[in-house]
Structure 1
Amino acid sequence: MKALRGAASLRNLREQGLWKLLAADKAPVVVALLRSLLYDSDKALTSSVLHERLGRELDELRASGEDMPQSASAYVAEWVRQGWLSRRRLAAGASEEEYELSVESADAIRFLETILKPRSTATESRLALVMQQISRLAAETDANPQTRVAALLEERKRLDREIAAVESGAVGTLTDNRALERAREIISLADELTGDFRRVRDDFDKLNRGLRQSLLENEGNRGEVLDALFAGVDVIGESDAGRTFSAFWRLLTDPEQSESLFEALDAVTNRPFARHLDARERKFLLNLTAVLMDEGSGVHDVLQNFARSLKSFVQSREFQEHRRLHSLLKDATQQALVAKEQVRANQSLGFELLLTSSRIRSVSQWVMEDPAERVADTSMPEAAPSEMLAAADGDDEVQRGRAPRPRRADDHEVLRRPSRALPVGVCVWPPWPARSAAREN
């Protein structure tokens, strides 16, 4: 039975995004693209930036021989459909949506990193962390005052011995290897922490959708619906993820604690052992406070918008309209199920439905017309000067008395010709032969 339950659980897991990503035909290429675009540096990108960067990456992959036949937009749409990318809620005033890694994709990338860069087994830092947490858990759950006082007195003696040693000049520090090991353990834990808060934000989104659905299906009055709404908020707040977020947010927004964390991170990154960290690890430590604040703010904003939007949804007529539409759809579905037993799917009903000739399009397909795209080309190309224009310029100089024009042989030839009518639309230019004849007469 244990194997049967385990197999059922794994089958369900196989349908989720994490397993699908690792089992995809082009998993190495897809994971590498997701990691370079939305994991190593940027955590979220706008639609235009993501498509532009992904297009460049695809061109490089195709040049190296990889078979990537689709466009950047097609791959983004496919990854969203598979659950590997998620769209962020469009913020007020935002012109385009943003994309980020889903929780499943981030977990898959972290899992692969542990395989590519395996940590040393049974490290001292991990053992020390476990021992410290167990000791702290035992002390904070002890309800006996005598043992609590004895533990505190022992801790005070230890601190007194350490202070005396430092005052005497005996300052002990960790070796570079041990310090580097602990720093990487901290980075690993903090990286997982950011993923945890994304999961909390996804849980709030699911709760929002679930409560909206329950509001439509609940036939009670508004007071009952509001009571259920606030009860739902308390339930998520008391969950493990909710308590973790509440404690995190209180700690992070405490000015004293946040300043202490910032100073400690600055001191750690300036220690000599920190030079052995790679560029990504150093950047992660330097931006840890900002990253945690950004992730926490995102979860906090989702929770606030969640409460405000549901209140407005319940108190407005939009709530009633949605409920009425839901009731109509429910009744139509029930009638269709009854008619299914009486009417075959291919049976002719003898009824002709006239469809509208109007073309229905999404508003997102409309494009504003830019008059600058249809500006006519008013430029004029420069042509080489002709001999006739040069001759005309010479006659102008002669008429102004600046220089005598020498008689040419073709002048006499023109004068000896009998006059004749020219065809319509034909003119002689330049007219200087006639003027020359007039001057000779």
Structure 2
Amino acid sequence: MPPREPLIKLDYATVDAMRRQHPAWRLLVADHAPLIASFLQRSFVEPNVRVMAQSALVEALEDTLFGLREQLGEQAFPKSANEYLNDWAALERGWLRKFYPPGSDEVHFDLTPATERALSWLASLTDRAFVGTESRLLTLFDLLQQMRQGSETNPQARVRELHKRRDAIDDDIARVLAGNMPLLDDTALRERFMHFTALARELLTDFREVEHNFRALDRSVRERIALWQGAKGALLQAILGERDAIAESDQGKSFRAFWDFLMSQSRQEELTQLLEDVMALPPVAGLQPDPRLRRVHYDWLDAGEHAQATVALLSQQLRRFLDDQAWLENRRIMEIVRNIEARALSVRDHMPPGDFMTIDDQSASVTLPMERPLYTPPTKLVLDNLTLLAGEGDLDTTALFDQVRIDKALLAGQVRQMLQQRAQVTLSEVLQEHPLQQGLGELVAYLQLASESAQAVVDESVLELVQWPTETGIRQARLPRVIFAR
């Protein structure tokens, strides 16, 4: 992830500008800051929700307002939940991002990076059980060693360092074989786990800021395309240059390295096992950690997918720009041709004296005999001269309104949700957790997902019984066992 920038100089002018312009500062001094911070923390940050539909967010805020009005009175919060959300998403506040995601006609909301910074700062003000310093010092020491060893260009120095590390490992192995196994005490375990929890939360916060930066680039591309009047090649060169600059920046390289590391199947399995082992330790279990920490690496994947989707919007914008430009150029060519035709027709009956038009040949005209096409007899077109008669009929149009659409994305999400808890799952287990709601069409959609997935396997030696309710009774089908894997 991107490195933290150095501390800026907090002179009077800088702090005054931040007080007037920064959304995080405006949130902290807002009239209903406790309501805003607590609700957004509970709705977005704690469950790691990246995007929420307006209907779900309005319902959650209505419940919160109802409880607060019961305690503080009806006049404590006079506005409706929808009005509060629109107010928080206004440009002059900038605490929520209000947008329409691709393929949806419902408004969605997401936190802005400034809001998440304010919430993180408020959370840091609470009293901590103890301030751990040992794990942070070891982390700093390890970072310094990595930088020194990673920048060393002398082969002999690197070999000496590797021999030193090998000797230290050999000494540790000898002590363990001799029965001397030093263990971390409860305090050290709790301190390191709290340090891990803080870093994991900061990583999710950084993802939202990375996505915001990519989204700002996409917005600038849209603006430049809308206002561009010059040549198409110059604009493409400028846009692709900016995209390459971001991809090659420290932030882009760090994000790409992180994504490649996390997308490794072996790394995911290793992280899952490490989290299970650490959460089972008695000192860590005594802290009553958030159960979501067991799948925090999947939360990182979800956050990274949102950032990757934002990057994909850049390619879509460039493709639309090329298509629109091609259509405009073709239209301009046709306008020129029509203008030439109109001018030719205007002088057809009154030819001007002298040479009317001259065109210089750019090259010699050479026609080779073998380049002449062979004669092809024309196909005689036969037209049926029939008179269309207007007819009348009483048709049953109910079938047009009984169409059912299967949401394959929802079915795929249900399969992925179950795969987060186990390495593989069968179709019958998925249907036990999520019964069929739309009958045979939904079952066929599951089979289509299995055929399109490279991780799905069909075991034809085992037949499974699948049932679903209909208006006339229970329908059932026997089909080979379908296994979805991570």
The verdict on a shared fold, with TM-score over 0.5 as the criterion, is: yes
Partner of 1:79: 88
Aligned to 2:45: 39
CA contact (8 A) 2:190 2:284 kept: yes
| Structure 2 counterpart SS, 1:99 | strand
Residue 259 of structure 1: CA displacement? Answer: 2.1
Q: Does the 8 A contact of 2:189 with 2:283 survive in 1?
A: yes
- Give the distance between the partners of 1:212 and 1:155, measured in 2 at CA: 53
The one of 134, 149, 152 equivalent to 2:159 is 149
- Which of 292, 299, 308 pairs up with 1:291? 299
Quick check: 1:314 aligned with 2:319?
Answer: no
Q: Which residue does 2:16 correspond to in 1?
A: 11
For residues 156 and 88 of structure 1, the distance between their equivalents in structure 2, rounded to whole angstroms, comes to 55
Per the alignment, residue 223 of structure 1 pairs with 233
Cα 1:83/1:320, change in 2 over 3 Å:
farther
Mapped contact 2:100–2:106 kept (Cα < 8 A)? no
Which protein has the bigger helix share? 1
Give CA-to-partner distance per residue, 1:220-273, whole Å, 9 cap, x none: 322222211211111111223212211111111122222222221121111212
CA distance in 2, matches of 1:111, 1:265: 26
CA spacing shift, 1:7–1:318, aligned 2, 3 Å? farther
TM-superposed deviation, 1:50: 0.7
Deviation at 1:23, TM superposition (A): 1.1
Q: How does 1:72-111 map to 2 (within 5 A)?
A: 72-81=81-90, 82-87=93-98, 90-92=101-103, 94=104, 96-111=106-121
Contact kept? 1:47, 1:98, Cα under 8 Å: yes
Q: Does 1:20 align with 2:30?
A: no
* 1:96-144 Cα shifts (integer Å, max 9, x gaps): 2332222111111111111113474461111111111111111111112
Aligned to 2:194: 184
Q: Which amino acid aligns with 2:33?
A: A
Equivalence for 2:177: 167
Aligned partner of 1:129 among 111, 134, 139: 139
Q: Is the 8 A contact 1:187 1:284 kept in 2?
A: no
- 1:311 offset after TM fit, Å? 2.6
Matches within 5 A, 1:328-367: none
1:269·1:282 contact (CA, 8 Å) conserved in 2?
Answer: no
Do the aligned residues in 2 keep the contact of 1:47 with 1:97 (CA within 8 Å)?
yes
Q: Which residue, 304, 313, 319 being the options, matches 1:305? A: 313
CA contact (8 A) 1:212 1:310 kept: no
Give the structure 1 partner of residue 259 of structure 2: 249
Q: 1:215 to 1:320 in 2, by over 3 A?
A: farther
Between the aligned partners of 2:253 and 2:130, the Cα distance in structure 1 is 32
* TM-score computed with the length of structure 1 as normaliser: 0.67
Q: Secondary structure at the match of 2:206?
A: helix
Secondary structure of the residue that 2:181 maps to in structure 1?
Answer: coil
**Post-superposition offset of 1:60:** 0.6
Letter in 2 for 1:23: V
Contact 2:278 2:284 in 1 (8 A): yes
Letter in 1 for 2:323: Q
AA aligned to 1:27 is A
- 1:378 is matched with which residue? none
Alignment partners' CA distance in 2, 1:84 and 1:24:
11
Shift, 1:296, TM fit: 0.6
Alignment check: 8 A CA contact 1:313 1:319 kept: no
Match of 2:348 in 1: none
Specify the alignment match of 1:59 in structure 2.
66
Partner of residue 221, structure 2: 211
Give the match for residue 55 of structure 2: 48
* SS of structure 2 residue aligned to 1:100: strand
Inter-partner Cα distance in structure 2 for 1:62 and 1:251: 48
Displacement of 1:74 after TM fit? 0.5
* d(CA) in 2 for partners of 1:320, 1:18: 44
Is the 2:214–2:310 contact (alpha carbons within 8 Å) kept by the matching residues of 1?
Answer: yes
The one-letter amino acid paired with 2:15 is L
Could you report, residue by residue, the CA deviation over 1:26-70 in whole angstroms, capped at 9, with x for unpaired residues? 212221122122222252322111101100100110111161111
| Residues in 2 aligned to 1:269 and 1:313: alpha-carbon distance in whole angstroms | 51
Change (3 A) 1:142 1:76: same
Distance 1:319 1:112, change over 3 A: farther
Provide the residue aligned with 1:338 in structure 2: none
Q: How many residues are matched?
A: 318
RMSD: 2.5
Which of these two proteins has the greater Rg computed from alpha carbons? 1
Q: Per residue, is there more strand in 1 or in 2?
A: 2
CA distance in 2, matches of 1:241, 1:142: 23
Cα offset, 1:95, TM superposition: 5.1
